[in-house]
Amino acid sequence: MTKYLTADNITFAMANLNQLVFEVTDVCNLQCKYCGYGELYDDHDKREDKMLPTKKAIRLIDYLAEFWKSKINTSAQSVIYISFYGGEPLLNMPFMENKPICHGYMNEHDFQNYVNTQMDFLRKHPEAYQKIMEEVIIV
Ligand code: SF4
């Protein structure tokens, strides 16, 4: 018999989420051929110079936090990994400076933040490192 995903399955997965990835922007200062936005793929995504506004991310975290705080969260691991991905996420510095991570939930959950950067931008703009280094791990 075919098993379908139920609303309870989705609720449980959201409550026990341990990784949340934001595509902070599709903009990048490089043009790697192998990129998901690169010409290597016939059906590659087209860059639209989008920037994720902080308030949208906060709205999502607000929504998920209700599940994280609920009894449905039976996860033994309380750390939630929040990753920032692009394009080059550091090109959306207004977002990265206001990472929607603390936002009142730090007592209930530990958050660990990762930035997926290609470092070229940081090499050219080392001052950006000062703005993000306190709370993130760069991968
Ligand atoms: S650095 Fe990453 S995001 Fe930028 S073009 Fe290369 S693969 Fe794509």
Q: By residue range, what is the domain housing residue 120?
A: 7-138
User: What's the gap in Å between 105 CA and the centre of ligand 1?
Assistant: 32
pTM of the model: 0.84
Report the nearest-CA residue for atom 6 of ligand 1: 32
Instruction: Return the closest-CA partner of residue 126 out of 72, 90, 96.
Output: 90
Ligand 1, atom 8: closest residue by C-alpha: 35
Average pLDDT over residues 30-46: 88
39-89 tens-digit pLDDT: 888 888 889 999 999 999 989 988 998 998 899 999 887 788 888 999 999
Q: Which atom of ligand 1 is nearest to the CA of 87?
A: 3
Q: What is the rounded average pLDDT for all residues in the chain?
A: 85
Assess if residue 83 is contained within a domain.
yes
Q: Which residues line ligand 1 (CB under 6 A)?
A: 28, 30-32, 35, 37, 86-88, 118
When divided into structural domains, the chain yields a total of: 1
Q: What atom of ligand 1 comes closest to residue 120's alpha carbon?
A: 1
**DSSP letters of 50-91?**
-B--HHHHHHHHHHHHHHHTSTT---S--EEEEEEESS-GGG
